[in-house]
Amino acid sequence: MRTDSGGYVSGTTLTGDGGAAAREPALSIRDLSVVYRTVNGDVRAVADVTLDLHAGEVLGLVGESGSGKSTLAYGATRLLRAPALITGGSVIYRGRRMSGPVDILGLTPDQLASLRWREIAIVFQSAMNALNPVLSVSDQLTDVIRRHLRTPRPEAVQRAGKLLDLVGIPRARLRSFPHELSGGMRQRVMIAMALATDPEVVIMDEPTTALDVVVQREILGQIMELRDTLGFSILFITHDLSLLLEIADRVAVMYGGQMMEVGSAEQIHHEPSHPYTKRLLRAFPSLHGPRKRLAGIPGTPPDLLSPPPGCPFLERCLDGTEKCKEIEVRLLPVRTSADPRHQTACPFILPDQPDDEGGTPGDGARPAVAVPTVDLSSAGLSSASVSPDGGSPDGGSPDGPAAESVAVIQPGSEERAQ
Amino acid sequence: MNSQAIGAGQLQPAHDLQSVAASRGELVLRADELSKDFKLGRGQILHAVRDVSFGLYKSAVVALVGESGSGKSTVARMLAGQESVSSGKIWLNGEAVQPSRGGEFRRYKSEVQLVFQDPFSSLNPAHTVRYDIERPLRLHHHSLSREQVREAAVDLMQQVRLTPPEKFLASYPHELSGGQRQRVSFARALAAQPRVLLADEPVSMLDVSIRLEMLSLLDDLRTSFSLAMLYITHDIASARYFADEVLVMYAGQIVERGAAEDVTQQPAHPYTQLLVSSAPDPDNLGGGLRELPGESGAGTGSATEIAGRNAPVVIGCPFSDRCPFVADKCRAENPPLLQLSASRAAACWRLDVAAPAVLAGREGGDDLTN
C-alpha cells in the first residue's frame, strides 16, 4: 500500500531498449486498485485495472456513473484524497521531455507538482465549478503559465492570448470573469488552461456533457484539431458511447470498477465481444440509419462495498451462467479477433443475439428473461426496424467463425445464474 | 436576384396544420400563439417565446427540441402555470384558461403536471418519498381517506416500478440513485391524476444506460394513464424514437414541425439540419468529426450566446446569422411557418435551396414515412 510520503522514482528499474521506446505507451496503468475507506468497510472502486494510453491517440473510457472511470483517471494522476486509497498497481509515465519512465504512484509531492500540468493536464467536468469565480480568465491562465513554466508576467499574458486564439475565443475575453461567459466558452477556457503548458497527456472528464449538441460538436471538433496540431494524447472519459465511437481511436469499457473490454472504436462498434458492451451499443437511440430495436439495461450496478464473486455484470447479463461466478475478471485477447489488442473480460464467446441482426422481431431464440425493448411509436417502425439489406446493422460482424471455434454458451440455457 | 432566390414563396403559411399526434387521441391542451417577454431593464425586452402554437393530444407525445436558451423550458413553464403568459392563450379541454391566476391554479395543476430535469434538486432532501407522493394525493383528491391515500401511494410506486413500494416510500432522496429519484418525480406528477404531463428534459441528467429504460417507462405511463405528453429535450435522436410529432425551436420560435421520422430523417430547416448533423453518429468512425454543413468559420460564438443576443432583434429570421443559405430577404423579414405537407411546416424563405428534396417530395406525394 503506497502513500504520498514514501515516494521513489522507479525510472532506474525500468529500462526500455531505445528502439521500442517510441512505440511504448505514454501512460501505462498496471493492475491499479483504488478503494474508498468507509465505516462499513472498503468500497472497491477500481480493481486491478490495466490500461495503456499511446502517444497521440484518443482513448475513450466509457462506463456508467459509479463504474470507477473517474476514480481510475484521478487515481492514476494521484488526485484522489482520503478516504480514497490506492492499494496497488503502478502507473508508468513516459514523456518525451522526461529522462526516463517514472512511476507516478511513487513520486514525491515535489516531483508530482512538476509532472502535473506540465506533462499531464486535466479538463474537469464542470467548468462552472472548476473556474475561480473571482479571477478573470487572464489571471487564471497566467497563473498556470507562470507557476508551471516560470514565465514572466508579460510573456504569460501573451501566451494566454494565444491560448484563447487556439480555442476560438476572442482575446477581448481575457478580462472577462467566468460568470460573463456562456457554458461553451467556459469549457473552452478549461481546455485552454489544460493546454497552457503544452502537456503530453490530457485527461478529459466528461468535458462536454453539460453542453447541448451543437456546442458539444463544435468543441469536440476543436479538441480533435488541437490534438492533430499539438500531438498530445487524450484520455476521454464519458458515459456516452455513441459519442466515443465517433471521436476515439480506441475505446475502453468499464463496469463495476473493472475493465470489461478494450479495442479500437471499429472493433467495439462492429465486433463487440463483452455482453455489457453489446448491451450498451443497443442502449442509445441513433439518429442516422434505420431505426433499430432498442433495449435498456435493466438492473443496477453491483454494490462495490461487497462486490459479487466473478463477473460484476453477471446480475444484469442475459447470458450469464454459474461459471461466471467463478471467473477471474481480467482482459484477454478476443479469441475470434485477429488483433491481440482487442481484449475482453468475458471468457465465453457468445453467439450474436438475434436482435443485433437488424432487429428481426419475434425471433424466438432470445432467453426467457424479459427485456424491456423500446418500440415506442408503432407508426412506421415495423418496416423501418429491419435494415434494408436484411443483414446486421453492425455491417456484418464475423459471428459465423466465432461460433464454431469455441465452446458456445447457449443463451437461455438452464443453468442461468441468479 | 432576390425574387429568384425566394423560390419557397409559393408555399403558403401553415394556418391549418394537422398534427400527426392528433391521430392518437383527442386534443387536450392547446397553446395558441403563446409569447413570453422578459424585461431586462434599461428598456430592453427579451422575447423568450414568440407566437408558439401547438396541441397536445391524448396518448400522444409531442417533442419540443432545441438548444439551451431556445425557450423550450419557458414554454413548459407557461403551460404548467408557473410563468405568466405575455400574450396568447392556453386552452384546456376546449376552454381558455389562465393557469397562473390564483384559484384556477390548483384546478389546472390537477390536470397538467410538470416533471423537472434535475432529479437531484427537484426533491426536498428533508422529506421522505412518502411525503412527496402523498401530499399531491391529499391536495388534489380531498375525498380520499388516510387508508386510500396510502394505497394510492403504493400503487403509484408500482406504476413507476419502484419495488418494494414500502421500502422506497420510507426512503429519503439521498438514498436513491438518479434514476430512482426521477421515478419518484414521475410518481409525484402522476399522483394528481393529470391528463397532461410536461416532461422537461426528464432523462438528460441520467446515465445513457438508464435513459432508455426511463423513456420506455414514460411510454408505458403515457399508455396506461392516457397522458397527453410534451417531451422537451435537446437530444433529437431520442425524440425520433419517443415522439409522434417533433417541434424544433430556435430563439423562441418554432422553426420546423412535423412527424418525428420526417423531421429527423429529412430535416427541412437549416437549423434542424445543423441539429441533426451535430448528433453523435457512431457509424461515422475514424477519429475525425464530420464537417457540419455551413458551419465553417462560424465557429467561435456559442449557440447559446447567439440565441440570447439575437432574441431581442425582431427583424429578419433569427437563424440568419448562422445560416449557410442566408439571402437578403432572410435578414429583412422573419419567415412564418410555411406548409410543406398536411402535417409538416418549416419557417424558412430558402427551403428551395436548403431542402430541395423535401420540396420535391411535397410535389410527388405528401407522406415521407412510407
ipTM over 0.90: no
Per-residue pLDDT band for A202 (boundaries 50, 70, 90) equals very high
Out of A239, A243, A298, the one facing B280 most closely (by C-beta) is A243
The pLDDT value recorded for residue A383 is 38
- Higher-confidence residue of A387 and A103: namely A103
CA distances from B62 to A285, A347, B77, B225 (A): 17, 45, 16, 16
Helix (H, G, I), strand (E, B) or coil at B185: helix
The pLDDT value recorded for residue A52 is 93
Helix, strand, coil shares of chain B, percent, nearest 5, are: 40, 20, 40
For residues A83-94, give the mean pLDDT: 91
The pLDDT value recorded for residue A124 is 84
Q: How far is CA A409 from the centre of its chain?
A: 29
The pLDDT value recorded for residue A11 is 36
The size of the A-B interface in CB pairs under 8 A is 173
Per-residue pLDDT band for A392 (boundaries 50, 70, 90) equals very low
The pLDDT value recorded for residue A354 is 45
| Residues in contact with B107: Cβ distance below 8 Å, sequence separation at least 6, in sequence order | none
For cell 478549461, the residue is: A190
For residues A1-12, give the mean pLDDT: 39
Q: How far is CA A415 from the centre of its chain?
A: 33
Is B178–A243 a contact, with Cβ atoms under 8 angstroms apart?
Answer: no
Domain span at residue A304?
A: 280-418
Query: Residues of A with CB below 8 A from B283's CB?
Result: 269, 286, 288-289
* Domain contains A142: no
* Domain contains A320: yes
Q: What is the mean pLDDT of chain A?
A: 77
State the sign of the Cα–Cα–Cα–Cα dihedral A102, A104, A109, A114. Answer: positive
Per the structure block, which three cell numbers stand in for B338?
A: 410555411
Q: What is the pLDDT of residues A148-201, one digit of tens each?
A: 888 898 999 999 999 998 888 888 888 989 888 888 888 889 999 998 888 999
A9 has pLDDT over 50: no
Is B287–A266 a contact, with Cβ atoms under 8 angstroms apart?
Answer: no
Task: Work out how many domains chain A is built from and give that number.
Answer: 1
Below-50 pLDDT ranges, chain B: 1-8, 286-288, 290, 292-313, 364-370
The pLDDT value recorded for residue A351 is 55
pTM of the model: 0.76
Out of B67, B178, B211, the one facing A212 most closely (by C-beta) is B67
The pLDDT value recorded for residue B209 is 75
Q: Does B209 touch chain A (CB under 8 A)?
A: yes
Q: What is the pLDDT of residues A130-152, one digit of tens each?
A: 888 899 999 999 999 998 888 89
Q: Does B68 touch chain A (CB under 8 A)?
A: yes
Window 152-191 of B: residues touching A by CB (8 A cutoff) are 177-178
What share of chain A in percent tops pLDDT 70? 77
- CA–CA min distance B264, chain A (Å): 7
A330 has pLDDT over 90: no
For residues A39-55, give the mean pLDDT: 91
A226 has pLDDT over 50: yes
Is B280–A300 a contact, with Cβ atoms under 8 angstroms apart?
Answer: no
Query: Residues of A with CB below 8 A from B288's CB?
Result: 224
Domains of chain B by residue range: 128-185
* Domain contains A198: no
The pLDDT value recorded for residue B366 is 44
The pLDDT value recorded for residue B285 is 53
The pLDDT value recorded for residue A127 is 66
Q: What angle do CA A310, A314, A317 make, to 5 degrees?
A: 155
* Domain contains A128: no
